[in-house]
Amino acid sequence: MLRRIRAGLTPDIVALCAIIFLADVTSGVVSPTFSLFAQGLGVSLAMLGFLSTIGGLTQLLTSLPLGALSDRIGRTKVLLGGLGTFAAALVVMAAAHGLPLLLASRILMGAAVVGTFQIGAAHLGDITVPEQRPFAFGLYATAMGSGFTVGPLLGSQLAQYQSPRVAYLVGAAISLVGLAVAWRIHRAREAIAPGAGRPSALRNVREVLAHRSLMLVSFGNLLVSLTFAGAITTFFPIYGVQVSLTQAAIGTIFAVRALVSTLGRLPNGIISRYFGHQAVMLAALGLDAIVMFWMAHVTDVRLLTVLVAIEGLAFGAYLVSGQTYVADRTAVENRGAAVGVYSTASSIGGTAGPLALGIIAGTLGVARVFTATGITLAVGFALFLAATLALRRQGPVSRVGSSLLQPPRSEAR
């Protein structure tokens, strides 16, 4: 087992995971500091909510175009652009003294997230073969989780003992280190396979949308994102205060969730190799549904911690298996469009979920948010299971598009 893992751990995979780690450190620097920084500049709470929404909306609008663009001009060029945009976003943020530059920085951050993490996942699919992917995508997701654990710690310390502006400039410098590593990858890829193909972006998108298996996995990604961005991120802190948890306790719960989610991602990649990606994704949706139904009736801090940690474990499991599944069902010339559709589904869940659940919270109470999410997940689980069984009866699932062969060896190094 260990020998097989070492054999699959190529320098390209390690370098890409290092880039993703650095990018998530950069993103994490912003997360605990931006709200207070913006309020210090006179931004109202209502406008602060708008600034958060605009970042998610930017991701929604750019996921598909940037994915299709990477099919045309090459993955590493878009990845370079994403890392450069990260650096630019934090420099603009550090220079902000009012709403206009804050707004510009959130738009840049939204585009950077897509250009880095989404395109990075597509690139990982390009440089691996199916036997490598469960472990490789587990490592990739672990790098993401680790970076987002380090980033908030670094950002909060720099903001407290220096200033938020210093934290953002340090974050920009970290992103530039990632950019330098990505440039070396780009030069190596150009030497191996110079030039990029020119597939039709519109045709690629149409083929992905017609591929039932990929659309099913994207549907599951929407449900997982709705749970995390809506029920957990947006409404769990409010629920925690209502059941007499302190802010410190709520912060600890989220820290435990992040740690459990990160530690579970690499094992989940290995588990999916033996049980199948669809089985892991179904298990993740089922666990999420159980957690949401249970959470609506729990007030004990220890049990709430366990439930939120299980949600984090399920989130990481779906992240690894979903990304691996998309990579396995696509080829180099259309993988960007497929990852774009997959990420767009996540953005829809992350944008529409909080809005819909906010209406429920305002009319029925915050606890009903978890019940409503549980019902949605239960229905989604049933649909996912029924569709999975129907697809299996139809026979083996082919790759999307006309290319059903393995990518050339130069593309699978």
User: Where do we find the tokens 């559709």?
Assistant: 341
The predicted-structure confidence for 107-137, as pLDDT tens digits, reads as follows: 999 999 999 999 999 999 888 888 888 888 8
Would you say residue 20 lies in a domain? yes
Give the Cα separation of 37 and 156 in Å (integer).
Answer: 11
- Residue 76's φ and ψ, nearest 5 degrees, are -70, -30
Which is more confidently placed, 10 or 305?
Answer: 305
Which of 215, 235, 228, 227 is closest to 344 using CA atoms? 215
| Full DSSP string of 234-263 | IIHHHHHHHTT--HHHHHHHHHHHHHHHHH
**Region 352-369 average pLDDT:** 87
Per DSSP, the three-state class of 95 is: helix
Q: How confident is the model at residue 195 (pLDDT cuts 50, 70, 90)?
A: very low
Would you say residue 317 lies in a domain? yes
Q: How confident is the model at residue 353 (pLDDT cuts 50, 70, 90)?
A: confident
pLDDT on residue 8: 60
Tokens for 138? 């587990």
Give the Cα separation of 154 and 85 in Å (integer).
Answer: 20
Would you say residue 77 lies in a domain? yes
The predicted-structure confidence for 69-92, as pLDDT tens digits, reads as follows: 988 888 889 999 999 999 999 999
Which is more confidently placed, 66 or 191?
Answer: 66
233 and 315 both lie in a single domain: yes
Per DSSP, the three-state class of 334 is: coil
pLDDT on residue 394: 79
326 and 236 both lie in a single domain: yes
335 and 383 both lie in a single domain: yes
302 and 214 both lie in a single domain: yes
pLDDT on residue 266: 82
Range of the structural domain that residue 232 is part of: 199-394
Query: What single DSSP character describes residue 296?
Result: T
Q: Of 192, 221, 249, which residue is a domain's last?
A: 192
Give the Cα separation of 125 and 136 in Å (integer).
Answer: 9
CATH number, residue 184: 1.20.1250.20
| Full DSSP string of 120-179 | HHHHHHHT--TTTHHHHHHHHHHHHHHHHHHHHHHHHHHHHHT-HHHHHHHHHHHHHHHH
97 and 211 both lie in a single domain: no
| Full DSSP string of 329-382 | T--TTTHHHHHHHHHHHHHHHHHHHHHHHHHHHHHH-THHHHHHHHHHHHHHHH
Roughly what angle, to the nearest 10 degrees, separates helices 75-95 and 164-192? 170
224 and 168 both lie in a single domain: no
Would you say residue 21 lies in a domain? yes
| Exposure of 298 in the CB half-sphere (CA atoms within 13 A) | 18
Tokens for 322? 């979903």
147 and 292 both lie in a single domain: no
Roughly what angle, to the nearest 10 degrees, separates helices 201-210 and 335-364? 60
Is-contact 307 257, C-beta < 8 A? Answer: no
Would you say residue 284 lies in a domain? yes
Amino acid, single-letter form, for residue 121: A
Would you say residue 239 lies in a domain? yes
132 and 229 both lie in a single domain: no
Q: How many distinct helices (H) and strands (E) make up the chain?
A: 17, 0
Cα separation of the two ends of the chain: 20
Give the Cα separation of 182 and 255 in Å (integer).
Answer: 30
The number of distinct structural domains making up the chain is 2
Amino acid, single-letter form, for residue 359: I
330 and 256 both lie in a single domain: yes
Non-local (6+) Cβ contacts of 94 within 8 A are: 164, 165, 166, 168, 169, 172
132 and 209 both lie in a single domain: no
pLDDT on residue 413: 31
Q: Please state, rounded to an integer, the average pLDDT across all residues of the chain.
A: 85
Q: Of 124, 159, 192, which residue is a domain's last?
A: 192
pLDDT on residue 410: 34
**HEC assignment per residue over 67-130:** HHHHHHHCHHHHHHHHHHHHHHHHHHHHHCCCHHHHHHHHHHHHHHHHHHHHHHHHHHHHCCCC
**Region 299-316 average pLDDT:** 93
Would you say residue 405 lies in a domain? no
Would you say residue 91 lies in a domain? yes
385 and 279 both lie in a single domain: yes
151 and 234 both lie in a single domain: no
Q: Is the pLDDT of residue 6 over 80?
A: no
Q: Is the pLDDT of residue 386 over 90?
A: yes
